[in-house]
A and B are shown apart, each in its own frame.
Chain A
Amino acid sequence: MPDIEWVYIKINGIALKVPKGEMIIESAKRIGVEIPFFCYHPRLSMKEGGANCRMCLVEVASRMPDGSLRKMPKPQTSCSLPAAEGMEIETDTEALNADRRGVLEFLLINHPLDCPICDRGGECPLQNNTMHYGPPTTRFIEEKRHFPKAYPLSQYVVFDRERCIHCARCTRFTRDISGDEELNFLWRGADMEVATFDHTEYNSRFSGNVIELCPVGALLSRPYRFKARPWDLQSAKSICTQCSNGCNIKLDYRLDRIHRVNARLNEDVNEEWTCDKGKFGMDYISDESRLKTPMIRRNGELSPASWEEVLYLIASELKNAEGEVAGVGGAYSSNEDIYVFQKFMRETLRSKHIDHRMGPNFQSYNSGLLKRFGCPAMGNPIAELEDMKSTLIFGSNFVDEQPILYLRVRKGWRFKRNKVVEAAPQGLISEEIRHVTQFAEVSLNYKNGTELPLAQGLLAALFEDKGRPLGEQKLLSHLSGKNVAQCASETGVDEKDIRKAAELLATDKMCIFAGEYVTHSPDATAILEVLGDIAVLTGNAGNLNVPVSRNNEQGAMELGILPDMLPGYVEEQNPGMNTEEILSACVKEDLKALWVMNTDLVKEYHNSDLANSAMDACPFVVVTALAITDTAAKANVVLPVHSVAEKWGTFTNVERRVQAFCKAFEISPDIHAEWKVFSDLSSMLGSPMTYADGKDILNEIVKSVPTFAKCGPNTLGDEGVILNPVAGGKE
């Protein structure tokens, strides 16, 4: 911890100690003194466009060198006023109240009073502050400024120019946080408006956040437009299911329909941001296409059936299969479902053939990573990423694969002067020019498919740099005798760039991200070995991150939906078949039944022909699904299961953080939780599982899986808990 210099100040006569330079608006929060504001936001920089709403005025008296107090003649904006020794601040005086009334009267001159039809009405800072501090009436009798209503900025955001109070929160967000710099101010004075350059579409992966940031109803959600008012909505704490980052969200729903998704604060994961995939992608929960009854294939057609009928059919088929059963999927189910699924397969059905992995090469590199670094996933927690002095993003379309990790890395670059090195295939950089490349110190733009030589080049450059400790000689073996120049010519990257990148990476706080271009490459194992060497050589062993991409893929790994690992990465002596072998066995008709767990296998498996023919060839396929997908359409039995909004459960996110989500509503009593299906079937097959609810299962996981020891339902809290490290597996 760096030493903090403390200063003593007084706010409204209350003495307090705050770090030197802290903005007074933050200091006031420490003692619960409220200062009204619009434009201030702790995560947005004050430079270039801050302190412009003039709402947070306070009266200040500073301590002079001779010890006397000197009052500033005019009020100051507390959001841009750093605390200094001996400062005395007043936040509630007659003069300030008059000033605030004046500021609000000015803001309301051009602000239309259409609160009843404004989607922000009821949760609007302008409305609230006007009620608290504003004048009761207006003296402005002239015509207000008029613009066309509801200008569509993008497919997600509409913009009402009349309502804008020019606080610059959205423009600062696009510059400081999302990094696309799409929004900016056009014109000046009363004509000032927020716009994209040349009025093109607002094209951002994080556009939804400006809706939450806007302190008035100027930037509004297009899907949510006129859907409900804040007081109509109920809210459930939840976790986003669109990618593995595990953003904390609030599902705002009315009856059984999700109306909008807002971010929930979690400093360790998403801070208070969401990406558009999550914010506008959770509609599937209350979609019309949701399956509401079990379906059985009769005469070639799927037709509705009762749960009793379906479960008896499945139980008898599975009994006849006598262990020649396999299960795939699970990356979209909760930890509880996953645990019960693997228990059902392993203990009730006596089958080891389960796997959740859908991409190529997983089998080969997962075990390598596990042996070397103790975990085939991320080595660093998300919150640590912003403190990494340099970050290597290797073969990844980072902003799309890991949007929240991207925001962290960018935050480190923007606010902490960290360096970023990007290595991406040539096509990718030109298409995604606005993202990591935009702020990367060095961009290594390699020929497609040359990930391995490039990684070797970086390693060779680190070795050749005489100033660095050479590390273990065995690392040299991964170089296959190449030097930097050879690697440079092989990859089409300038040799100087490789050396410069290697120099940037040689710091004591460095981390490496390997993306899909690495994990999907045929050389995945070798590339990850070399990247691991780079981490070891720079003294950052373990800082190799291979983030998973799907919702609860990490949980599926931790809880043993793997043919060779039991829950908690306990090695299985006689491993079962992996996804590819399972599907091939289905084609050869070696398996009598296949269970597909809430996954659109046909679409997701990297070889869709194999998946299709396996589904066709397997005599009995059970699919648990939210809706009839391409995979479910080929199944013998389809079971409707709960989505994230209909049950309590936990997900494990990309940094191995277990986070709980709460039940919001029930769509139909004929939709069951997945674990319920397995425990019912297990009882019918003669080995009863007695779980009352998800918390029961989590308690059992806590008892039986050592990595989950700290994750009991009562200890998770709102922010979740990171899993224990895997015992005995780190270099």
Chain B
Amino acid sequence: MAETLNRTFTPIAQGMALTLKHYVKMLTARKENIATFQYPEERREQFPRTRWRHVLTRYDNGLEKCIGCSLCAGACPARCIYVEAKENTDENRVSPGERFAIKYEINMLRCIFCGYCQEACPTGAIVLRKDFELSEYSRQDALYTKEMLLEPILMKK
């Protein structure tokens, strides 16, 4: 009988002791040493070269860097980028130079986040940043348009 009890409760006690040990350790540990994150309240810091959501960046004066050259679309192995260009006019200047992208679409369902577009971009307009939460309720929503990809204008001092 005592044998049976011993065999049943000793491992439980041992296990609970380990749990307790880690619980105490976690309560007393420094924040950066904790592996578990309370997602979505907390988000893990991404590695510096992580490639997630694309962003179309702007120059400091607010002009778009993208010139609609479609090199990203040419480099894309998943063929998920669609670019249509148009000519800049002095009344409606979108980017420096002659040409800008009037349409810029990325199909996020197809994208494999290889970063070739970023590598091909001659002006550094398209960059893959760390925003990784890319799930959508419909397939249509995963088609990111230029308005969604563009960086908001930040008035810098």
Contacts and interface: CB of A to CB of B under 8 A. Distances in A.
B74 A231 contact: yes
Interface stretch (B8-16, B52-60, B63-71): B63-71
B74 A229 contact: yes
B74 A117 contact: no
Nearest to B122: A116
A226 B87 contact: yes
Interface in A576-595: none
Given A149-B98, A150-B98, A226-B85, A116 B74 contact: no
A473 to B, nearest CB: 70
B98 A117 contact: yes
A116 B73 contact: no
A121 B69 contact: yes
A149 B87 CA distance: 12
A85 to B, nearest CB: 48
A668 B68 CA distance: 29
Interface string B91-127: 0000001110000000000000000000000110000
Interface residues of B, number: 17
B86 interface: yes
A232 B72 CA distance: 11
Q: Is the interface of A mostly helix, strand, loop or mixed?
A: loop
B72 to A, nearest CB: 11
A149 B97 CA distance: 10
Contact of A231 (B70, B85, B97): B70
Contact of B74 (A114, A122, A149): A122
A114 to B, nearest CB: 8
Interface string A90-130: 00000000000000000000000010110001100000000
B69 A117 contact: yes
A15 interface: no
B73 A117 contact: no
A122 B73 CA distance: 13
A225 interface: yes
Contacts of A232: 70, 73-74, 83
A116 B99 CA distance: 10
Contacts of A149: 98
B69 A229 contact: yes
Contact of B97 (A117, A122, A228): A117
B120 to A, nearest CB: 10
B87 A228 contact: no
Contacts of A150: 98
Nearest to A232: B70
B59 to A, nearest CB: 16
Contacts of B86: 226
Interface string A147-181: 00110000000000000000000000000000000
Interface in A205-247: 225-229, 231-232
Contacts of A122: 74
A122 B70 CA distance: 11
A226 B84 CA distance: 8
Contacts of A231: 70, 73-74
B67 A116 contact: yes
Contacts of B70: 228-229, 231-232
A120 to B, nearest CB: 12
A228 B70 CA distance: 8
- Residue from A114, A122, A226, A232 having most chain B Cβ neighbours under 10 A: A226
A117 B65 CA distance: 13
A719 B71 CA distance: 34
Contacts of A116: 67, 69, 71, 122-123
Contacts of A117: 67-69, 85, 97-99
Given A149-B98, A231-B74, A225 B122 contact: no
A667 B83 CA distance: 21
Contacts of B71: 116, 229
Nearest to B74: A231
Nearest to B97: A117
- Residue from B70, B84, B97 having most chain A Cβ neighbours under 10 A: B70
B87 to A, nearest CB: 6
A231 B77 CA distance: 13
Contacts of B83: 232
A509 B73 CA distance: 56
B68 A226 contact: yes
A254 to B, nearest CB: 9
- Residue from A117, A122, A232 having most chain B Cβ neighbours under 10 A: A117
Contacts of B99: 117, 226
Interface string B74-86: 1000000001111
Contacts of B67: 116-117
Contacts of B69: 116-117, 121, 229
B89 to A, nearest CB: 12
A77 to B, nearest CB: 34
A113 to B, nearest CB: 9
A252 to B, nearest CB: 14
Given A116-B67, A116-B122, A117-B98, A225 B87 contact: yes
Interface string B122-141: 11000000000000000000
A116 B97 CA distance: 11
Nearest to B87: A226
Contacts of A228: 70, 84
Contacts of B74: 122, 229, 231-232
B84 to A, nearest CB: 8
- Residue from A114, A116, A121 having most chain B Cβ neighbours under 10 A: A116
A327 B13 CA distance: 98
Contacts of B122: 116
A327 B137 CA distance: 55
Contacts of B98: 117, 149-150, 226
Nearest to B123: A116
Contacts of A227: 85
A117 B71 CA distance: 10
Contacts of B68: 117, 226
Nearest to A229: B70
A122 B123 CA distance: 17
Contacts of A229: 69-71, 73-74
A193 B57 CA distance: 38
Interface in A677-709: none
A227 B68 CA distance: 10
A116 B101 CA distance: 12
A183 to B, nearest CB: 23
25 contacts: A114-B97, A116-B69, A116-B71, A116-B122, A117-B68, A117-B69, A117-B85, A117-B99, A121-B69, A122-B74, A149-B98, A225-B87, A226-B68, A226-B85, A226-B86, A226-B87, A226-B98, A226-B99, A228-B70, A228-B84, A229-B71, A229-B73, A231-B73, A231-B74, A232-B73
Given A226-B85, A226-B99, A232-B73, 17 more contacts: A114-B97, A116-B69, A116-B71, A116-B122, A116-B123, A117-B69, A117-B99, A121-B69, A122-B74, A150-B98, A225-B87, A226-B68, A226-B87, A226-B98, A229-B73, A231-B70, A232-B70
Interface of B: 67-71, 73-74, 83-87, 97-99, 122-123
8 nearest CB pairs, A to B: A116-B69, A117-B99, A229-B70, A231-B74, A226-B85, A116-B122, A226-B99, A117-B67
